[in-house]
Structure formats: structure tokens, C-alpha cells
Structure 1
Amino acid sequence: MTFQIVFEHLAMVIVALLFALIAGVPLGILSYFYPRAGKIILRVVDLIQTTPALALLGIIMVFMGAGKPTVIVGLALYSLLPIVRNTVLGLNQVPSALKEAATGMGMTRMYQLRRVEIPLAAPIIFTGVRIAAVNAIGTAVFAAMVGGGGLGNIINTGIRQNDMKAILSGTGVLMAMALILDLIMALVEHRMNRRSDRAPSPAGKLFTRVVAAVTALACVALTVWTFLPQQEDGLVLYEGQFSEVQLVNSMIKQLVEDRYDLTVTIKDQMTAVNNFNAMTGQDHSCDLMYTWDGTLLTTIMGLDTTDIPDGQTLYDFVNEKMNTEYDARLMGKIGVNNTYAIGVTQQVMDTYHPTKISDLVPVAGELRFGAESDFFTSAGSMKYDPFVQFYGLNFAKATPVDIMLKYTAIEQGAYDVMVVYATDGLNIRAGLTVLEDDLHFFPDYYGTILVRNDVFERFEEQAPDLEETLSLLNDKFTDQLMSQLTYRVDVEQEPVDQVAHDFLVEAGLLEQ
């Protein structure tokens, strides 16, 4: 874990709090002045607070693109509720006698608000800011889903790999960050409460002004830094959440930089859907991505295998759609078929000795089935209900589990049968045996590089045969080989770049 990761996480939180404060206090004042409008305002910020963080960030990303600005806006929206509520609460708790005295002295409504009510309500308002700060530090882990960076990358990877050291270190830093920030804000709040009891001395006024000026400059500097675009030299792509994507990305970078005077920039981690949107959007922020043709068909385009015309392969159909609708194309199959697969535990193997999925039919009533939540949706024909109906399976229990936690769950004995991906090295660690899909229910999910059509023209001078270079990975893999590579990353925790380099050297694509 580097200081930069911790700093960018904290910076996003502080800048988001600044924007939430700028928006939240005026909204609270408006709610205080106009109670009817206040009910609507509070209802809206309540609704924002109840919206799942990942969904909110996904919506914002549609309009703002990927990166830290999207995360900051999302965190600011999430921070509004305690600030708006505490602003209204603080202003309502100002004694009526003081308000009447201020009116009797001839103060205008706004002057009274600025000089009497807000200073007295400031400690309660600041309590709302403290609550928002602690909440925002934890919520900011979702930045990893939209290319925002931060500690979410470390925690997500640790959960997937069951790396307790990474999980604890990431969580520990988050807790320490929250405690330190809360302690600093508690001291400020305590000072504000003391100031409400007695007038500050001239030295105290000077100290407060200096601290305020330094804080303001720091906030401005952080805001500028977080909104500056990431460095995007040469060919740009986003890091993936899974080791197979990370390995191929690293191979692309090493191959291209070895052959040309062209830098490949791998930006912060992002989900596949958000990566695709960032690549194909009008203001695209990357040039290519590693994916699977089946993922493009179902998850990205929302289509099904039944939509493929007779006589056309899934790969060719997807490639045609990418060209005509998204101005992109597939670069060929690298040899990996990372389709859904059914894995069973060693205990199931020892007890029932299955070799294919059909062998589970007579014993399914004694087995517990698990898969990520997406597998239990009704979108498409490759989900749970069509699967069990197709094979005639009737499991004793079928429950969803988070995709990052499913291997940990099956290792702890929570499931007997699990939906996995064919090339995942964690299958080996969990002791799962992948059964043959003997009735061919699951379609192919061939690994491929998706590239924007304008890439080769833009880099023609720097890399005249870039297309050929990217195609060097085609047909170089098998499912077993990719499983071994991902095992080295996920289980043996070897560096991605080193594993990728070793493969390229062994395949004769790079010199030692």
C-alpha cells in the first residue's frame, strides 16, 4: 500500500465534504426559512442517501465520465443529509428570546441570520459535517468501481484473493483515517463550543484566521488536484478487477512498449460495464479493453444467444454489433474460453464421483448451490432458472453470494456446488472440480481484445503495425494455462507484471 493511494482516498473525501458543505448549508437555511420547501428538500436528500452507492456512481458516470470527479460528486451527494438536517436543527434551536432581541435591535433578517443564528448553530452544523466525514471515508471504497482509485482497489482484491493481510491493512487504514479526521473535527467543534460561551481574545482571532486561511488554501489545492485529469500518455486502458484482465493488460503494455516508442497508460481499476462505457462513449477516456465475447453479448448489449442469427457464431455476431453500433472491433480470440462452469467440492467428488453436470441430477436434492447474485436474475437464458430446468436439477438450497466472497464461502463449507469461471485460478485453491457441461448449456465466452476503430489511425506514425502486435496474443492460451497464471497471481500472490513477463518470454514474444 502506497502513500499515494491513501492520499487520493483522503483527498476525494475532503473535497467531497467541501462541496457538500457549500451546497448543504444553504439548503438547510432554505429549509429553515421555508418549512414546506424544507420537507421536499429533506425528502430528496433522504432518497439520495438510500440509493445504493454503486448505482449512484454509475448514474453520475453517464454524465461525467469515469474518474475521481464522479466519485467526489457521489460522495458530496451522500454527505448532504446530515449537513442539511443539522443545519435546520441548529437554526431551530437558537433561543427565541435571542431572535426577538435581534429583531428589536433593528437587525435585518439576513443580518440576524449571519451574525446571530448561524454562529450559535455552528457547533450543531459542524456535528453534521463530522458524521458526513466518517460516512464518506467508508463509502469512498466504491471509487474502485468507476476508475476513481483509492483504498477500494486493495480491499476488493484482498477479499477476492482471501488475503487477510490486504483486507486488514486496507480496513485498518480506513479506520485510522476516520478516527484521526473525527478527532481533529472534534477538537474544532470543542473550540467552537468554547467560543459560543465567551468572546475570543485578539490572539485567538488571529490564530483562527490563520488556520482558516491555511485550510482554505489546502482545500483549493486538493480540489484542483482531484479534478485534474489523470495522466494519459499514449495508448490508454483501465485496470480490471480480476487477475485475468490484469494479466492481459500487462502483456499488452509490455509488448507495445517493447516494440515502439509508445507509452501504454493503465489507469485506475474499473468494472467491465463502466470500462466499456468509458471506451465507447462520446468523450472516451480509454482506447481498448480485454473482455469476453459472451460478456459483450449479455452484460453489455443486453442480448441473448437466441438473438444470434442461424449460421453465425457468437463471436462474429458480437464483432459485427461492435463495428456497426459502437465503432469498435474484436482483435481475435486469445484461446481462453472463460465461460460459466459448475464446480463441486472435493467432498462431493468423494461421495458421488460426478464427472459431468448430468451426474448431479439424482443427488441434487442433497446439495447446496451457490452463485453470484447476477446468476439468479431473469436477464437472459444463461441464468439459474433456465439452467436447472434445462438439466432437471432440484438442489436442496440455492442462495446468492457476493462475487468477491464466493470462494471464501465455499472454502468455509457454505456450499457444495458453485458457479465459477473456467479459467479462474481460485478454483484450484478452493479444491473445486469443474464438471463437464455435457448438454452444452453454457455458451462460449472467448477472451478477446476490444479496440476502438480509430486507434490504429491515431497511432499509425508511432506504431505502424500496432494491430499485428496486439494480435500476437491470439491462440497463445488455453483454459488450463490461464488458470495456472491466475493461480500464481491470486493464490501465490506473485506480481501481475512478473507473471505476465514470464509468460511472454516463454512464448517467445519478449526477450529475457
Structure 2
Amino acid sequence: MILDHISIVVAALLCAIVVGVPLGILSYFYPSARKIILRVVDLLQTTPALALLGIIMVFLGAGKPTVIIGLALYSLLPIVRNTCLGLNQVPDYLVEAGKGMGMSRMQRLLRVEMPLATPILFTGIRIAAVNAVGTAVFAAFVGGGGLGSVINTGIRQDDMAAILGGTGVLMLMALVLDTLMGLIEHRMNHHTAGSTSHRFRMVKRLGAAGLAVCVIAVGAWSFIPQDENGIVLYQGEFSEVQLINSMIQQLMEDRYGLEVTIKDQMTSKNNFQALIGDDHSCDLMYNWDGTILTTILGLDTTDIPDGMTLYDFVNQTVQEEYDCRMLGKIGVNNTYAIGVTSQVAEQYNLKTISDLQPVAGSLRFGAEQDFFTDAGSMKFGPFVEFYDLNFKEVLHVDIMLKYKAIEEGSYEVMVVYATDGLNKRANLKILEDDKQFFPEYYGTILARNDLFERFREEAPDLEETLSSLNGLFTNDLMSSMTYEVDVEQRSVDDVAREFLIEQGLLAP
């Protein structure tokens, strides 16, 4: 993970140098173009990182190339600015001396101006490098790897050791990188040609060449394809997805000796984009039919034809439009649910969501930003109107921090997912959706239709094996399993293996 993070940063920095230095030279040569170039790189710098990565991913798909290009674009500003600044600060008399010696424009640039501008240019590269170390954590959202997934998981699970560990590694990485580049920069600013012998200059050049080879090798690491033998999945953000992925991996390897590669963490929507199409980078994914309907397909429950279930409608849609199919329901219904603190539930004798109606004016409600959007009919606005609720205060909170917030007393009522083990840690009372406002979100494995034909020889009953997980879970069971992972910090693979053994799907 650390090597992945470093390689992403180095690769992005090399790309930024290759693009940024010529742009800086162009800005120096043509003042009329300078304003346009600097304005463009300024705009790139102010674009939110996730938005920029999302735009790039539309064209390149998920993975490291998307992250590297995004970081490279973010790194352009200091490199372009400092290149142009350094060249503009070269004394005029030295430029004139070059002219007097008969040098052409490019000769003066390469032999006079660029060597003198290099210390200032290097300062820009140094700034870009340190900034890229922190920005690279967003790679976790688009399957790019790195340390972002460690920090995100730590925040969600309130695992201070993981948060501090990941942050500490990033800080150390940035500090070491900044120190090394600072030493080089100091050497550039204080070196004079006459202060070293010929032998020393040769040693220095060899050292610089060796360092350049090492930097290029580290950057190239990002472009080396991951080992993707057998069936390929992306890791999920939540423990429920990680548990099912682990079960799939263990079943495939035990029954068929078929290797399963679980790649870097990926959001649901990005994972779906990586699943579909001829240039797909994974074979199947675990998700929920309601999430596929709303978040992925951009549809709503109102789009479902009369007499058709949500599951059947989604399955029909993905088969017709994306050549995929769902393999049945594993048993969990991880729908939205409303949780209240045990103290409030006991104080007001709350058992159903309808019981909130007379006391909502005394309570504060919290949820992640996604619940407040206008996309779909099962979000905050329709919800409070349906149940006639008027809360004292409504708070928007980051999805990774919402459990910590309710534990600290920031609000008393919160939207949760039914199978989240953190509900138990926060000691929440899950209220019954007595008027059935929230639709079902049944867990299911979504696979490409060509998967079973491609592995027919190695695993002739592959679909039956994957479907063997259907009906084995309940919400309470999945909540207990995710609690073991999220709160008790047990290994995902260990919890998954124990369950498979208990169900007779794996030998002890």
C-alpha cells in the first residue's frame, strides 16, 4: 500500500513535469499566451479533487491511470508558475551575452536560461510533490489504491490506530520527500562550478543518473498491471461487501482452485462502470438492488411497472442494457432505517417511525449528504413529508463521521443502513418502518453474463456455487458479522471463513 501510494505520487509528478515545464517555457516565450495558460492551471487547481477524478474516470475508467492524470493536473500550477518565474528572473545581461556569442534562441534557453532558472523550477516541483502526497488519498474512491482506503476505513470504524497510522505514514512520507528535495534545492542554490573537482562532478552526475533511474522505476510501478488471474473483483467500502467478497474468493479457491483477485477499494457506482462494457476490469460485484436502481441506474421506485418487484425490474434492466444479471437474494435487506439513541427511545417509548411524529420538534436529525439530495423518492424531503415529521434541527454530516457524531450527542435521530454493525456499537434503537416508506435493498451478486461461459471448463457449476450464498443471511446475522469486523476489529477473512464452515460450504 505504501509503495502504491509513493508510485502514484512519483508517476503523477513525472507527468506533471513533462507537461508543466514546456507550458512554463511557452508562457515565458509568449506573454500573450501566459494569462490563458496560467488561468487554465489555476482552474484545475481549484477544481475539487473528487470531481476532477470523476470527470477523468468517465474517459479512462477506474484505476491508477485516472488517479495519476488527476494528480498530475493538480500539480501543474506550481511547476508552470515557477518555470515561467525562474526564466523571467534570469539577468538580461546574461541573455545578451548569449546573443553576442551567436547562440540561437533555443541554445540560449538550454545553455543559459534553464540552468539559471532550475533552482526556482525545482522549488515548484518540491511544492507539487508534497501536495500530491496528501491529495493521493482520493485514489481510494476510484480504485487507485494507496493509503486512502486505510484512513477511510479507520474513520468509519472510529479506529484511531488506523487513522493515526495512515496519517502518520503520509506525514512521514511528505517530510522525507520534502527534506530530500530541500537538500537538492539547497545544493542547487549554493553550488558554484569552480568549487568541485572533475572527479567529484563525475560522481555527482552518476549519482544523479542513478537517482533518476530509481525515480522513473518507482513511477513506472503504477503502470505495471496488477495480477488479475481468474475472477476479478473490486473491494468495497463497507464491511458487508468485503465479507461477501471474501466468501466468494474462498469458495472459488476451495472448490475449483480458481484464483480470485480482489483489487483496490472502489465505490459502488465506479465499480459498476468497471464491470460493464467490452473493456471491463472486473467480473462481478456484490451490491443491493435498491442501490443499483437509484445510485447506479439513476432510476426511482416510481419507474417500476405495476405488478413488478424492484428486484425483478432491476434484474431485467441490467440484463437488457448492460449484459449482466443478478444471481438471487442472499437474504439481507440493507435498506435505509431510522435509528434513535437508546436514551431517547426509552424516554419517549419509541418503537416505530410514526412514534416520532409528536416528539420530532424536540429532536435533532442527522444524515449524510446523499440522503438530502433530490435524486429519488426515498430521501429526506419525501420522508419527512410522508411521516409528517418536523425536527428541531437537521444536520448534514459526513458518512464516515456520522456514528461518531451521534455517539458524541450531536443529534438524537439518524438515518442508517439496516445491517450496519456500527448501529450496535452506537447503541441505537432501529425504529420499525410501520408505513413501509423505504423500499427493499436486497443484497445480491451482480455478474457479467459472459463470466460463466469464460470459466465453464474450470468451474462448470460456477453460477450454482455463487448462488449457494442465497437465503443464508438475515439482517441480524449480517449486523453481527459486520460488528465483529467494524468494532471488534476481527479479520474479514476469518469472519467469512467461520460463516462458510458453519453453513457447510467449506470444510473445517
TM (norm. structure 1) is 0.97
Counterpart contact for 1:293–1:314, Cα < 8 Å: yes
User: Hey, what does 2:84 align to over in structure 1?
Assistant: 88
- Shift of residue 102 of structure 1? 2.4
User: Hey, what does 1:216 align to over in structure 2?
Assistant: 212
The aligned amino acid for 1:472 is S
Q: What SS is found at the alignment partner of 2:191?
A: helix
Deviating beyond 6 angstroms after TM superposition, the runs of 4 or more aligned structure 1 residues are none
Q: 1:349 aligns with which of 331, 345, 350?
A: 345
User: Hey, what does 1:335 align to over in structure 2?
Assistant: 331
Deviation track 1:117-152 (CA, whole Å, cap 9, x = no partner) reads: 111111111111111011100011111111111111
Q: 1:324 aligns with which of 320, 324, 327?
A: 320
User: Hey, what does 2:189 align to over in structure 1?
Assistant: 193
Deviation track 1:218-238 (CA, whole Å, cap 9, x = no partner) reads: 233223321111100101101
* CA distance in 1: counterparts of 2:231 and 2:152, whole angstroms: 26
Q: 2:61 aligns with which of 50, 59, 65?
A: 65
Q: 1:487 aligns with which of 483, 487, 492?
A: 483
Q: What SS is found at the alignment partner of 1:238?
A: strand
Q: What SS is found at the alignment partner of 1:39?
A: helix
User: Hey, what does 2:116 align to over in structure 1?
Assistant: 120
* CA distance in 2: counterparts of 1:480 and 1:361, whole angstroms: 27
Q: 1:253 aligns with which of 249, 255, 268?
A: 249
* CA distance in 1: counterparts of 2:165 and 2:439, whole angstroms: 39
Q: What SS is found at the alignment partner of 1:341?
A: strand
The question of 1:434 aligning with 2:430 is answered: yes
Out of 14-23 and 47-56, give the one that drifted further.
47-56
Q: What SS is found at the alignment partner of 1:296?
A: helix
Deviation track 1:429-481 (CA, whole Å, cap 9, x = no partner) reads: 01111101111111000000000000000000000000000000000000000
* CA distance in 1: counterparts of 2:180 and 2:494, whole angstroms: 42
- Shift of residue 71 of structure 1? 1.4
Deviation track 1:387-438 (CA, whole Å, cap 9, x = no partner) reads: 1111111111112111111111111111111110000000000111110111
Deviation track 1:350-405 (CA, whole Å, cap 9, x = no partner) reads: 32121111111111111111111111111111111111111111111112111111
Q: 1:163 aligns with which of 159, 163, 167?
A: 159
- Shift of residue 288 of structure 1? 0.2
The aligned amino acid for 1:184 is L
The aligned amino acid for 1:376 is F
* CA distance in 1: counterparts of 2:397 and 2:197, whole angstroms: 59
Give the alignment of 1:103-502 within 5 angstroms.
103-195=99-191, 200-502=196-498
Counterpart contact for 1:331–1:471, Cα < 8 Å: yes
* CA distance in 2: counterparts of 1:196 and 1:383, whole angstroms: 67
* CA distance in 2: counterparts of 1:500 and 1:364, whole angstroms: 40
The aligned amino acid for 1:51 is T
Give the alignment of 1:41-52 within 5 angstroms.
41-52=37-48
The aligned amino acid for 1:271 is T
Q: Matched residues, percent identical?
A: 70
Q: What SS is found at the alignment partner of 1:207?
A: helix
Q: Which runs of 5+ in 2 are unaligned?
A: none
The aligned amino acid for 1:353 is N
Out of 32-41 and 232-241, give the one that drifted further.
32-41
Q: Which runs of 5+ in 1 are unaligned?
A: none
- Shift of residue 270 of structure 1? 0.8
The aligned amino acid for 2:407 is E
Q: 1:10 aligns with which of 6, 9, 19?
A: 6
The aligned amino acid for 2:429 is T
What root-mean-square deviation, in Å, do the aligned CA atoms of Structure 1 and Structure 2 show? 1.2
Out of 315-324 and 54-63, give the one that drifted further.
54-63
The aligned amino acid for 2:344 is V
- Shift of residue 282 of structure 1? 2.7
- Shift of residue 63 of structure 1? 2.2
Deviation track 1:8-60 (CA, whole Å, cap 9, x = no partner) reads: 11111111111111110100010111122121111111111111212222222
Counterpart contact for 1:24–1:83, Cα < 8 Å: yes
Q: What SS is found at the alignment partner of 2:437?
A: coil
Q: What SS is found at the alignment partner of 1:369?
A: strand
- Shift of residue 188 of structure 1? 0.2
Counterpart contact for 1:336–1:482, Cα < 8 Å: yes
Q: 2:27 aligns with which of 14, 31, 36?
A: 31
Counterpart contact for 1:19–1:76, Cα < 8 Å: yes
The aligned amino acid for 1:429 is R
Counterpart contact for 2:9–2:219, Cα < 8 Å: no
* CA distance in 1: counterparts of 2:470 and 2:84, whole angstroms: 62
Q: What SS is found at the alignment partner of 2:496?
A: helix
* CA distance in 2: counterparts of 1:184 and 1:137, whole angstroms: 14
Q: What SS is found at the alignment partner of 1:310?
A: coil
The aligned amino acid for 2:62 is A
* CA distance in 2: counterparts of 1:83 and 1:223, whole angstroms: 18
TM (norm. structure 2) is 0.98
Counterpart contact for 2:7–2:220, Cα < 8 Å: no
- Shift of residue 197 of structure 1? 7.8
Q: How many residue pairs end up in the alignment?
A: 508
- Shift of residue 196 of structure 1? 5.5
* CA distance in 2: counterparts of 1:281 and 1:93, whole angstroms: 52
* CA distance in 1: counterparts of 2:395 and 2:31, whole angstroms: 46
User: Hey, what does 1:53 align to over in structure 2?
Assistant: 49
Counterpart contact for 1:120–1:196, Cα < 8 Å: no
The aligned amino acid for 1:394 is N
| Change beyond 3 A, Cα 1:199–1:32 | farther
User: Hey, what does 1:77 align to over in structure 2?
Assistant: 73
Out of 495-504 and 203-212, give the one that drifted further.
203-212
Deviation track 1:162-190 (CA, whole Å, cap 9, x = no partner) reads: 00000001000000000000000000000
* CA distance in 1: counterparts of 2:203 and 2:348, whole angstroms: 76
- Shift of residue 112 of structure 1? 1.1
